[in-house]
Structure 1
Amino acid sequence: MVFCHCGRDAIIQTSWTSKNPGRRFYACPVQGSNCGFIGWYDQERCQRCVDIIPGLLRGKNKLEVDVQKLGHSNVLFEGKLRESEANSRKLKMYLVISWVCFAIYVMLS
């Protein structure tokens, strides 16, 4: 068990700095305490990991934004589809009515 400087059980958090992306460390569980950094939970990452992880995170964040935009677009298109289907049903009904009227006209002529 690792303790912070104020005597509490330290918690594990994840660093997302450019120097230590994704590296876990021990920190004080009290928000805003002055204990600060206590120590590393993980071993130091290789340089290639340090170079690659920030780019992967940027790509992931961009994809999440794109998915959110596509979700909003999908909602809009579903609404337009419902409107088009309703309009299509109405036009089919008008077509049937016009053919019935035409048939009655031909029969009465």
Structure 2
Amino acid sequence: MVRCNRCGSIAVIKTSWTPTNPGRRFYCCSKRVANCGIVDWYDPPMCDRSVQIIPGLLNSMNRLQGEALEKANEAKRNKKWLIISWILFFLYLVLK
């Protein structure tokens, strides 16, 4: 069991997503208020090639997720307009 160097609380494992340590796990203080920071690294350092490739993959993934969210929102808007147009067409036929 690893403990925080500053306050002595039990340390938890989190994952770093910084460009220099993408996907690397580390121990940090479990107290959110204390903000003691990193206690120690859980994983060994990543090779240089991984540090070069992973940030680009993360950027691509984030871009694709953003595009998928935009498409989903567009589909919802189109569905609403389609339903509204069906209702208006039905009312037109009934009232004619």
Q: Give the TM bin, normalised by the shorter chain.
A: 0.7 to 0.9
Which residue of structure 2 lines up, in the alignment, with residue 27 of structure 1?
28
Which structure has more RCO (C-alpha within 8 Å, separation ≥ 6)?
2
Deviations along 1:50-86, one digit per CA (max 9) or x if unpaired, are 1111111111111121122112111111122223434
Taking structure 2 as the reference length, the TM-score comes to 0.80
Code of the residue aligned with 2:34 in structure 1: it is S
Question: Helix, strand or coil: the match of 1:27?
Answer: strand
Q: Which structure has the highest helix share of the two?
A: 1
TM-score for both structures, normalised by structure 1: 0.72
**What secondary structure, in the 3-state scheme, does the structure 1 residue paired with 2:62 have?**
helix
Rg larger in structure: 1
The RMSD of aligned alpha carbons is: 2.2
Q: What residue number does 2:2 align with?
A: 2
**Count of residues paired in the alignment:** 95
Other-structure match for 2:86: 85
Q: What are the ranges of 5 or more consecutive residues in structure 1 without an aligned counterpart?
A: 98-109
